Amino acid sequence: MNKKCWSLLALLAGIRTLFNTGYRMVYPFLGTFARALGVPLEDMVWVLSARSLVGAALAPFLSRVADTRGQRVGMVLGLGMFALSMSWVVFWPTFWSLAAALITGTVAKYTFAPAMQAYLGERVPYDQRGLALSVTELGWSLAFIGGVPLVGFLIARWGWLSPFPLLGGLAFLALLLLWRTLPKESPATVKTRRQGKAGFVAVLTSPVALAGLSVGFLASSANEVVNLLLGVWLEDAFGLQIAALGAASAVIGLSELGGEGLVAAFSDRMGKKRAVALGLGGNILAALLLPWLGRSVVGALLGLFLFYITFEFTLVSSIPLMTELLPQARATLMAFNVTMLSLGRALGAPMGTFLYRYGFPTVVLGAVALNGLALLTLRQVKEEQAAR
């Protein structure tokens, strides 16, 4: 990849960091926002549930903009929505304004990401796409390591409203840079994509695409089964909190960063399908080790690191693979992928709660079974078809 491509990837990684900071900042400061606005904590929780549901539901529909109007238009639309949503809270600092901003910001995030992944999928050779897309995925871990702590600093100094003008202003600046950086797509390219089989029909009638979506759904479910109950189990069984919150947060952030780095280093060399399989197998092993490692705080944090890094490696490795399963409807398929990952988390949460009634080893076996199904389903995805 040339210098111009690396500059674009750096810009896209920065934009993803903005999106993910706006998304992740709510969790540690949920109580702060609720107290500042004078609403019960439960109301803020409902807002978080609503933003996930609305974002996942609308993502496939909004992705059609990128497939029919151009991927540049899709990215600009998503980033513009995010900039506006962060900015209006500054002028109308109320609970309903914040709720609308969080929901719209998530819809914007789910509009931008599939368009961006489709854009890179169409322009970066398949044998370099793992590296390119893993660079943009750094925005997830960088938001956790840098963005959210910065938000905490701003809130501590200037109050709950202070992150919003910064996020909105940076988003508007990024929008200008993106508009100037991305070349316009030729009308012929957009017309060809628009005349292809309709995005929804193409996705829902492709066995390979459905298999790829199912792998993400099952892996996400497996992760959430354990993720939701890990802290509860350690507290119940050993009187441990899964950290010192700061230590656990650092472990999670570093594991995500490590997973993205490993994808950048190895997924193109070993093949995307093989990398996904390795990640699923590693996540199975990490889950099986958790009951044994969870006998001490240090062991628990090591188990947490292994569990998260293998899941992140799986998830990020799957993205370049998915971008080539359905070239005529890339953005629509990537939006469906976002929806399936969200549905996987939605399934994993109640499943984990149910299995925990029979002990944490049962929770682990549930995650192992789901990952095992994902490995079997992955066999239906032929990488040579993806690379054609």
pLDDT at 293: 81
Whole-number Cα distances in Å, 24 to 20, 29, 143, 153, 314: 6, 10, 7, 15, 21
Question: What is the domain class of 201-386 according to CATH?
Answer: mainly alpha
CA distance 207 to 216: 15
Query: Which DSSP letter does residue 128 get?
Result: G
Q: Which two tokens stand for residue 349?
A: 């949460």
CATH code of the region 3-195? 1.20.1250.20
Residue 279, Cβ density class (10 Å: 0-12 exposed, 13-18 middle, ≥19 buried): buried
What pTM does this model have?
Answer: 0.82
Q: Which of 115, 31, 30 is nearest to 73 (CA)?
A: 115
Helix (H) or strand (E) holding 13: helix 3-24
Which pLDDT score, from 0 to 100, does residue 109 have? 92
Number of helices (H) and strands (E) in the chain: give both, helices first: 17, 0
Where would I find the H helices in 70-196? 71-91, 95-123, 129-142, 148-158, 163-181, 187-195
Amino acid identity, residue 189? T
Amino acid symbol at 368 = V
**Would you tell me how many other CB atoms lie within 10 Å of the CB of residue 197?**
13
CA distance 373 to 254: 28
DSSP letter string, 183-208? PPPPHHHHHHHHHSS-HHHHHHT-HH
Identity of the residue numbered 378: L
Among residues 348, 355, 335, 336, the alpha carbon closest in space to that of 374 is found at: 348
Show me where the domains of the chain are located: 3-195, 201-386
Q: How remote is the C-alpha of 235 from its chain's centroid?
A: 28
- Give the whole-angstrom CA distance, residue 116 versus residue 317: 16
Residue-level pLDDT at 144: 82
Residue with tokens 């840079």: 177
> Between vectors from CA 381 to CA 379 and to CA 387, what angle results, nearest 5°?
135
Check residue 21 and give its pLDDT.
Answer: 92
Residue type, 11: L
Tell me what pLDDT residue 162 has. 92
Gap between the Cα atoms of 103 and 385, Å rounded: 37
- Mean pLDDT by runs of 10 across the 388 residues of the chain is 83 94 84 88 82 82 80 90 94 93 92 90 87 90 86 89 94 92 68 57 88 94 81 59 50 82 89 94 93 76 87 92 87 88 83 83 92 95 59
Tell me what pLDDT residue 370 has: 96
Does 201-386 match 3-195 at the fold level? yes
Rounded to whole angstroms, the Cα distance separating 66 from 74 reads: 5
| Single-letter amino acid, residue 225 | V
